Structure formats: C-alpha cells, structure tokens
Amino acid sequence: MAAPRIAPISISLEDYSATGKVATPALLGAMLLASDKVSDLIFSPGRPPQVQVYGQLIPVQASGLATLTSDDTRRLAVDLIGDNQQAITALREHGSCDISFGLPGVARFRINIFIQRGSCAVVMRVIPTGIPEFASLRLPAQLAEVARLRDGIVLVTGPSGSGKSSTLAVLLDCINREKCYHIVTIEDPIEFLHTHKCSTVHQRELHSDTPSFVHALRSALRQAPKVIMVGEMRDRETIEIVLEAAETGHLVLSSLNTMDAFKTVERIVTSFTPAEQQSVRERFAKSFRYIICQRLIPKSDRTGRVPAIEILKTNARTRECIEKGEIAGKTLLDAVKAGSAEGMQHFDGEIAQLVRDRVIDLETGLSFATNPTVLGQEIARSQV
C-alpha cells in the first residue's frame, strides 16, 4: 500500500528550549499535526523522527532533527520518564520500560522505551483524548450486548496495533453509560481516561498505583467492583485470578495478543501445567461469554484500514468444544459458523464479504485470511 503523502513539519524558534534543543512537548505536538491518522511516533538513532499512518512509517522533517543521534533519543527518554523511579529501574535492569505521557488537551501516549545497540529508542502509541464512538470503530452491533452481561469473561484479542485497546474502551464506556456499577481497571499504562457517568470508575496504573497485575487483581476482589478490566492477561497467575473473579460473579474484560478464538483458548489452557489443563478448560468453558478477535485490513482505496472481526459467543456447542477440546466435526470454527443466527461470525467469512463489497482487494484479503486457499475458492464460487 502506498504511504499517504504528509507535508514536512517545521518547528519555529520559540519552540526551542534554553539549551537550543527542541522542547519535547513542542516536537510531539508538531508531529501529531502531520496527519489526523497518526497512530505511533517512533524515535530511533540514525533515523529522522517518524510517524506511523495506516501501518506505514513516514519520516518527519523537524528543524534541527534531520537525523536523530543517540543523545537526542536519550534526552527524549529522560524527558518522558521524568522522576518515575520504577521506569528508571526497569530500563536499567531489564532494558525496557512502559510509561504513559500526556499533552494536555492534545493527546496521551502509551510509551515503550528500550535499549538497542547501547542507545535508547522510543515508540509512542497515540491514545485519543476521547473515547471513540461505537459506530466509528465499525464494531458489529451485537457487541452492545456486552453491556448487559452480569458476569463472566469477555476477551478482545488480536495482534499488536489491531485496535484492542480502543474496542475495550468502547465496551467499557457502554457499561459506564448504561449501568450503575463500580468499575475497576488495571492497566499498564492507563490509556483511555474514563470519567464517572452512570458508573463509578477507578483506574489503576501498574507501578504508579500498584506493583503488579496480580496484586491489583487480588485487591480488586475486596473493592466491591461489578466490572474489572485488566489491560492484558500476561501470565498464568493473572489468568487464574481472572477465572476466580468471573466465577465469583464479576464481569471481567481483558485482552490477549492472539490471532483467533482457537489460539486464544489454547494460549489460556497451555499457560497451566498438563495436570491443570483439563480443569482450566472446564472453568474457562463455564466462565467465558465472548471472545472477540480483530484484524485491521488496508482498504482498497488506500484511505485507511477496516476491521475484520471474529466473534465466539458462549452456548452449549462452544462450551463443549472448549471443555473437551476440538475433534473432527466439532471445532470452534464449526461452532461459530453454526452460531451465525446468535451473532457469531468468523474471520474468513467477514473477509470474503469485504472483498465482495470491494472494500478490500482479493490479494489483501487472502493475505489476512485464516485459510487463504478455502477463502479463495469460496470467493471464486460466488463470482461464477
């Protein structure tokens, strides 16, 4: 896909600090002006500052920063970290750290700073100041049912950059608007800011508000929430407490970096020892309500990306597949196809429709498909 054309950025003299270097807030604000579709800012020694738009990296011309030096990226990292001692320790001991940063009234960022070849590199994910509207993300209408769930687990999965955080924020906002609940979020770092609406929302950030997901989750069970949102289920212990929370009447929303519903279930189950796995299958089968998997696919007109979303919903057949494992004729994909009347949908079916509607082209659709051969045959038959 051709990269969108973006005008070079220039920063005026008043944007310089007393040292003659570009002030970090001025640089970030100027880079965001490159396009209203900037998703990431990337700073790497030996390269100019870059923005990512629709998955494409585009260099930004900033006065005095044609090519970043290791001193430039180190200075930027120092400005962003500030006096966050946990981040400083993590960067020193582990070679990377996660923090958040805000430009008041402009944007917030989820930031990863890491060491490579002995120097700092910085990747900043742009987080909109406002929570997106449900329709703006082109989410299937049936997902509004999440706000009416009483308990259980709702997972949003997909690769990095597929919009999981935005979908979680929209689902949580639906609950916040419709229900008078106590909501606790545990995030690393806090991304979208949720204000109190019908619900009361408390947001806790890893390191600054709590030492770990596990500690925060255990505390949350004593804080009388109805809804708990965990930014990501990263390890066995977090998954264990999420299961416990769902089993004790809480609604838990979380995310995983998995590609589809089958891989999501396997990721959860294989986080445990072989002796524990059957019990985990049974517990998860009873506790899950939705697995929502998403991929962002470039549109054929090169104006952006469109989501393809797979939805696995709890019913007798899907619970059996998870509890007993998949066998021929009884797979999660079979269950999803059979559950279309209940609002379930699978990736390749959604991709096929996007191709037929000419939203995406065939070659792109096949490259994102779960089973490109079967998808190609299905589309060919429909065009006969």
Question: Residue 3 has what pLDDT?
Answer: 43
For the cut 60, the answer to whether the pLDDT of residue 304 exceeds it is yes
Residues 97 and 203 in one domain: no
Which of these three, 97, 127, 157, is where a domain ends? 127
CA dihedral 25, 28, 29, 33 (to 10 degrees): 170
Integer Rg of the chain from CA: 22
Among the listed ranges 299-308, 317-326, 331-340, 347-356, which one has the minimum average pLDDT value?
299-308
What type of residue is 58?
I
User: Do residues 83 and 207 lie in contact, with contact meaning Cβ atoms separated by under 8 Å?
Assistant: no
Answer yes or no: do 94 and 205 share one domain: no
The answer on pLDDT for 16 being more than 80 is no
Q: Out of 93, 110, 127, pick the residue that ends a domain.
A: 127
pLDDT (0 to 100) of residue 15: 54
Q: Identify the domain containing residue 110 by its residue range.
A: 13-127
Burial class (CB in 10 A: 0-12, 13-18, 19+), 160: exposed
Contact 322, 282 (CB under 8 A): no
Q: Between 138 and 19, where is the model more confident? A: 138
pLDDT of residue 11: 45
Task: Give residue 86's pLDDT band: very low, low, confident or very high (50, 70, 90).
Answer: confident
CA 142 to chain centre: 20
How many Cβ atoms are within 10 Å of 147's Cβ, its own excluded? 18
> Would you say residue 107 has pLDDT above 90?
no
Q: Are strands 251-256 and 152-157 parallel, antiparallel or unpaired?
A: parallel
212 and 302 fall within a common domain: yes
3 or 239: which leads in pLDDT: 239
What's the rounded mean pLDDT across residues 8-14?
A: 47
Instruction: Give residue 384's pLDDT band: very low, low, confident or very high (50, 70, 90).
Output: low
pLDDT at 368: 95
Same domain, 147 and 119: no
DSSP state of 311: E
Shared domain for 52 and 176, answered yes or no, is no
Res. 1 pLDDT band, cuts 50 70 90: very low
198 in the same domain as 88: no
Residue appearing with tokens 């900037």 = 38
Kind of pairing between the strands at 119-127 and 107-116: antiparallel
Contacting residues for 72 by C-beta, under 8 A, at least 6 apart: 21, 43, 45, 65
pLDDT value at position 26? 85
Q: Which residues of 198-222 are buried (b: 16+ CB within 10 A; e: fewer)?
A: ebebebbbbbeebebbbebbeebee
Higher pLDDT, 313 or 22: 313
Same domain, residue pair 282 and 144: yes
- For 53-85, the pLDDT digits (tens) are 888 888 887 666 678 999 999 999 999 999 989
Strands of the sheet with 251-256, listed across from one edge: 200-205, 182-187, 227-230, 251-256, 152-157, 288-298, 305-313
pLDDT in tens, 174-229: 999 999 999 999 998 888 999 999 999 999 998 789 988 999 999 999 999 999 99
Query: Once rounded to an integer, what is the mean pLDDT over residues 321-343?
Result: 93
pLDDT tens column, 227-284: 999 999 999 999 999 999 999 999 999 999 999 999 999 999 999 999 999 999 999 9
77 and 223 assigned to the same domain? no
Residues ≥6 apart with Cβ < 8 Å to 36: none
**What's the structural domain count of the chain?**
2
Same domain, 188 and 265: yes
Name the nearest CA neighbour of 34 among 9, 66, 3, 65. 9
How much is the average pLDDT of 162-184?
96
Q: Which residues pair with 210 in a beta bridge?
A: 206
Looking at residue 20, its pLDDT comes to 53
Give the CATH number, domain containing residue 49.
3.30.450.90
Give the DSSP letter string of 263-292: HHHHHHHTTS-HHHHHHHHHHHHHHEEEEE
Do the Cβ atoms of 261 and 295 come closer than 8 Å? no
* Beta sheet of 119-127, edge-to-edge order: 56-59, 50-53, 38-43, 119-127, 107-116, 96-103
152: β partners: 251
**Mean pLDDT along residues 302-327:** 94
CATH number, residue 292: 3.40.50.300
For the chain, give the percent of residues with pLDDT over 90. Answer: 73
| Same domain? 164 vs 272 | yes
Cross-strand bridge partners of residue 107: 103
Predicted confidence (pLDDT) at residue 13 exceeds the cutoff of 50: no
Report how far residue 130's alpha carbon sits from residue 110's, in angstroms, rounded to the nearest whole number.
15
162 & 193 share domain: yes
267, part of any domain = yes
- Spatial separation of the C-alpha atoms in residues 249 and 174, rounded to whole Å: 19
pLDDT averaged over every residue in the chain: 91
CA atoms 292, 147, 37, 99: torsion sign? negative
Residues 121 and 26 in one domain: yes
Q: Is 202 inside a domain boundary?
A: yes
- In this prediction, residue 178 carries a pLDDT of 96
Q: Is residue 65 part of a domain?
A: yes
